Structure 1
């Protein structure tokens, strides 16, 4: 069977669309797995996605510079935008986030 240039281009475009669908599905799965600040477990420990928004009156133990990225419970790399946390199972927390369980031992 002789492959025409048109067939070759169509095949290439189909593969490109297919790979972009796979990438977008992976990106969606990553977003869907993020911990929401409205999650009951997150609310129980005062989790916020941005440590600069911590209610300092409610959480006096908070100190500037404390973030999930430098917490000993954070399972991602310090350079990751989101990563796992031993408190929240398979949910991803924001590296710049904070909660009252922060520890840096």
Structure 2
């Protein structure tokens, strides 16, 4: 079957619209708040330097979301996905008690 120019243009426009929508959806993803119940349960803070070291003795200097194995953001992003928090984005310089660098 030979593809026509018209079907090629329609397919191309559909693909471009899908990519644009995916980028917008990612950009608009809700950022995780420290007051979120799941965030509170895991001791999430947006700034790792503000971790309550008395309560979370497993925290070590240099640990932050951006170098955690659960973080799904790209290097240089200010926030990214985390497998623990679903569609919500976590701060790259944040921290929670589930930090893992395996």
Indicate the TM-score class for this superposition, using the shorter chain for normalisation. 0.7 to 0.9
SS at match of 2:40: helix
Larger radius of gyration: 1
Q: Does 1:40 align with 2:37?
A: yes
TM-score, normalising length: structure 1? 0.70
Whole-angstrom CA distance in 1 between matches of 2:63 and 2:73: 15
**How many pairs does the alignment contain?**
79
SS at match of 2:93: coil
Q: Does 1:101 align with 2:98?
A: yes
Aligned to 2:69: 72
| Structure 2, unaligned runs of 5 or more | 1-22
TM-score, normalising length: structure 2? 0.72
How big is the shift at 1:78? Answer: 2.6
Aligned to 1:83: 80
Q: Does 1:58 align with 2:68?
A: no
CA contact under 8 A between 1:70 and 1:78: conserved in structure 2? no
| Cα pair distance change 1:32/1:75, threshold 3 Å | closer
The alignment's C-alpha RMSD in Å is 1.8
Whole-angstrom CA distance in 2 between matches of 1:90 and 1:31: 10
Q: Which stretches of structure 1, 4 residues or more, deviate above 6 A after TM superposition?
A: none
Whole-angstrom CA distance in 1 between matches of 2:41 and 2:96: 9
